[in-house]
Each structure stands twice: as C-alpha cells, then as structure tokens.
Chain A
Amino acid sequence: MTTNLKGIGGTFNKKKRTLISLSHGTYGHDDDAYGAMLVINAILAMGSEATLLLRDDGVYMALKGQDPNEIGQENNLKQLSDLVDLGGKVYVLGPSLEARGIERPELIDDITVIERKDLVKVLQQHELFINL
C-alpha cells in the first residue's frame, strides 16, 4: 500500500454498487486496465461498494510476480493492493483462466475465481456496470 486514497473526495452514492468488468490485457497499447483501476479505487475511496471482474484477457491483471519495470510502467499489483485495502472485491472468471492455461496458484491471493453460472448472481449484486 503506497497511496492513501481514503482521504480523497467526498461521498459517493453508497446505495449503488458498481461492477467494473475488465476484458483487456495489461501493459499494452490500450490503457483500459489502468483506467479501470483509477475509477474503481476512486469509487472505493469515496466509501461506496465496488467490485472488479476480470474476464477474457483482463485475467492477466491478477498474475503474481508481474514486473513491468523494464517497460517503464506502473505495476498493476500495487493498484490491486490498494483496491483490496479499500475494501473492494476481485472476481476472476474461471473459463477465461482455463482458455489461457492459467492455474489458480499463479494468481494473487486476494481474488475469488467464479464460474459462468455465478455471473448472474454477481450482476444482481450491482446497480452500475462499467466495461473496460
């Protein structure tokens, strides 16, 4: 935890729970992953509930041992750590892991792997949806 986001901003709408679904990979030309983390950590910092759902190439966000120093980019794990510290949840879609040959032990601890059948329940638990 290297940033203190809890003191920023006012109050967000606590009744609305936000699900941010990230389907794009990390450290590429698109900055969707970075953009997703920026928004979700801001929502959490304002005291509202928010969940990150990693699916498709978005699952790479949760890999252990990432080291983007050589390409000069910020490590996603730092932002994920902030998210967890702020009380956010991270779900990773199991079939997306299987399709990419990624096993659960390769991922960070603070995530929950869900199956497609669980998606409906996750969607029902949120009122606002942002796809990145």
Chain B
Amino acid sequence: MLDGKAKADKGKTLTIILTRGPFISDYADIAINTALRAKKMGYKVNLFLYLDGTWNAHVKKDKKYSNPGEWLRWCIKKGVTVAACERCSEARDLVKEDLIEGVEIGGVYRLLDMLKGSDKVLTFMG
C-alpha cells in the first residue's frame, strides 16, 4: 500500500551509486535492496556500481546464503538498470564475461546519463 508521498513519487527516477564491495559491510545489501524496494514502489531505478562497488557484479554463483549477486539478478529481472563503471572494472580486471548477465559496463558518462534524468540520487559509501 503506497502512502501519499510514495504515490506522488511514483514514476520519478532514482539513481543509486554504490562504491563498496560485497560482504565487507552492509552497504551493498542496503543499496541493492533499496533499489529493489524503490522499483517496487514505482520508481524508475538506476544502480551504478562505482569503484569497489563493481565487485558486486562478480558474485555470480548460487550460494547457500543470500548475497549481493542474487539481489542484483533480482534487480535486473525487475527492470532496474544496472551499470558498472568501465574504468573501475578495467582497474580490477573485471570484464563483461565476469559479470552477472544484464549488467552493463559503462564509462563515467554513463553515470552522467543516469544523473541528468534523476529526481533523486543516493550514494552508498563507507
């Protein structure tokens, strides 16, 4: 059930920037789950994996516990646009084949594309 504020925000665009990797802290968990929840509430959601945040897209295999890779796959399935910074990926030797299917690799100008259409921006960093 959406309250009045959530209804008013429906259709707006939220961009989330995640700069921290998986497991070492809760930042990835919170960022990715915020993306999922916002999508469910009707936002158009972009998730940009920046700096060490790019590692989250490397968590590809199923695990016995819930993990950022699993949530990222849900994000993509639900229509969240997920992109990983090209320069940050290259610095970490991450190539497209290493990443979860559906994650784009884009330069910093891909982030600017996301920002220019955004109503809100959230950054998750340590």
Contact = CB atoms under 8 A, between A and B. Distances in A.
Most buried by A among B19, B87, B116, B126: B116
Interface residues of A, number: 21
Contact of A46 (B88, B112, B123): B112
Contact of B112 (A12, A24, A30): A12
Contact of A132 (B115, B116, B125): B125
Contacts of A35: 19, 50-51, 88
Nearest to B111: A39
B17 interface: yes
Contacts of B123: 129-132
Contact of A42 (B88, B109, B126): B109
Contact of B109 (A9, A16, A32): A9
A13 B117 CA distance: 8
A12 B117 CA distance: 10
Interface of A: 8-9, 12-13, 16, 18, 24, 30-32, 35, 38-39, 42-43, 46, 128-132
The 9 closest A-B pairs by CB, nearest first: A13-B116, A131-B123, A42-B108, A35-B51, A130-B123, A128-B121, A9-B109, A12-B116, A38-B108
